[in-house]
Homo-oligomer: A and B are copies of this chain.
Amino acid sequence: MKAAVLGYGTVGGGVVDVLFENKDAIASRVGEEIEVKYILDIRTFPGDAHEDLITNDFNRILEDKEVKIVCETMGGLKPAYEFTKSLLEAGKSVCTSNKELVAAHGPELLRIAKEHNCKYLFEASVGGGIPILRPLLDCLTAEKIDEITGILNGTTNYMLTKMDKEGSDYADVLKEAQEKGYAERNPEADVEGYDACRKIAILASLNYQKTVNYEDIYTEGISAIDSRDFAYAAELGMNIKLLGMCKEIGGKKYALVAPFMLSPENPLYAVNDVFNGILVHGNMVDQVMFYGRGAGKLPTASAVVSDVVEEAKTIGKASAVKWSDEKVDLSDKNELEFGYFVRINGNPENSNYNELFADAKVIGKDGITGEFALVTGRMTEGEFLKKYESLKDAVKFIRIK
């Protein structure tokens, strides 16, 4: 069985490594060896162990009838979208880690694959090395899944964990994450929640079998979280995590991405550093969590290769994944209920908070002066925002899960 890899960057390099390193284990599962015939990259890699496989000519791969499976690990929409379409139209299955492309064109690419008796597989697009899409679709099949909540971005989770455990400032941990290669020079996609948003859009779409447009999802990142928020959170015995969430209540569907305060009872509380955790709630099984490395060369490559194995074992069979073009009408997130942590300048005595939030608990924290904080009871976000608008000297709020 011959395969090709598009893009010899971090994940692409990992895919090649996994296919070579675990060649025998993979062959025993597939029933035959998987051989990498081409690696597409516009760069050259003099001295690379697989230099002979590298080509900059996409058409060689497209036109080679021996190549049945292609791993797309380029990322981004251009040229990945056109390449993927051409490959699927040529009947070659594509396994990808490219969440941007999946979130933007998933249903179309799935349809093209179906029409050409091949598959478009994207286990690696959500949760890195964590098996999540296949468990969701092929294992939790006795369930009505009413909520999926995940720590879906390793970079921000690394940053929030540092802020939590070491009391560091946002700017410092961002710099450190950039130095370690966890965050990009332009960290927007991670810290503003766009990456998590695409991932929850994919999860929600697969769960609803229709399209949740990522642009419709209310998305709030972590760039406004500071060390004082963590000091208050610690006082409350909680921590702060960036969560992507989709939820169905009484037939209405909701999705959002935002930082949340979590208590230790929540299994996501203990998901730290670059790890991801995806908590799925079903009406029979209650909570199930999938945990592991949500990013990184080899974990992500492992998920891409698991798709290669799946395809190699079922070649010529169409995928059973249902994800139609039909759009999911998300309901207004202001209908969702949360508790709220609110910071207010000044002191409780001079605040109008108790006219608005009668049952709120006031929280002070040694070393923090000139402000105080509240924890409100649970209410709809709409109700909260209305009161919050009337709150004098409000600094910010964070939702409580």
Q: Quick one: CB contact mask for A141-155 with B, threshold 8 Å, 1 for yes?
A: 111100000000000
In the bound complex, residues from chain B placing their C-beta under 8 Å from that of A76 are none
Shortest beta-carbon distance from A321 to chain B in Å:
12
A287-330: which residues lie under 8 A (CB-CB) from chain B?
Answer: 287-293, 298-299, 301-306, 308-310, 313, 320
B284 touches A26 (CB 8 A): no
A26 touches B141 (CB 8 A): yes
Shortest beta-carbon distance from A187 to chain B in Å:
24
In the bound complex, residues from chain B placing their C-beta under 8 Å from that of A139 are 123, 131, 134-135, 306
State in angstroms the CA–CA spacing of A310 and B134 once bound together.
13
Stoichiometry, as copies per complex, reads: 2
Shortest beta-carbon distance from A314 to chain B in Å:
10
Shortest beta-carbon distance from A103 to chain B in Å:
21
Does any Cβ of B come within 8 Å of A53's Cβ?
no
Identify whether the interface residues of A are mostly helix, strand, loop, or mixed.
helix
State in angstroms the CA–CA spacing of A285 and B202 once bound together.
22
A1-42: which residues lie under 8 A (CB-CB) from chain B?
Answer: 14, 17-18, 21-22, 25-26, 29
In the bound complex, residues from chain B placing their C-beta under 8 Å from that of A309 are 141-142
In the bound complex, residues from chain B placing their C-beta under 8 Å from that of A267 are 270, 291
Shortest beta-carbon distance from A29 to chain B in Å:
5
Does any Cβ of B come within 8 Å of A129's Cβ?
yes
Shortest beta-carbon distance from A302 to chain B in Å:
4
Q: Within the complex, which residue of B141, B144, B286, B298 is in contact with A285, where a contact is CB–CB below 8 Å? A: B298
In the bound complex, residues from chain B placing their C-beta under 8 Å from that of A304 are 142
Does any Cβ of B come within 8 Å of A282's Cβ?
yes
In the bound complex, residues from chain B placing their C-beta under 8 Å from that of A301 are 142, 284
B129 touches A284 (CB 8 A): yes
Does any Cβ of B come within 8 Å of A269's Cβ?
yes
A287 touches B292 (CB 8 A): yes
Does any Cβ of B come within 8 Å of A222's Cβ?
no
Chain B CB within 10 A, most for which of A22, A284, A286: A284
A293 touches B302 (CB 8 A): no
B142 touches A302 (CB 8 A): yes
Does any Cβ of B come within 8 Å of A138's Cβ?
yes
State in angstroms the CA–CA spacing of A290 and B302 once bound together.
17
- A interface residues (Cβ-Cβ under 8 A, vs B): 14, 17-18, 21-22, 25-26, 29, 123, 129-131, 134-135, 138-144, 264, 267, 269-270, 282-293, 298-299, 301-306, 308-310, 313, 320
Extra pairs beyond A25-B144, A267-B270, A289-B290 (9, CB < 8 Å) = A17-B284, A21-B284, A22-B142, A141-B306, A142-B301, A282-B302, A284-B305, A287-B291, A289-B289
22 A–B contact pairs at CB < 8 A? A21-B283, A22-B143, A26-B141, A130-B288, A131-B140, A134-B135, A135-B135, A135-B139, A140-B306, A141-B310, A142-B301, A142-B304, A142-B308, A142-B309, A284-B298, A285-B299, A285-B302, A286-B293, A286-B299, A287-B292, A289-B291, A290-B291
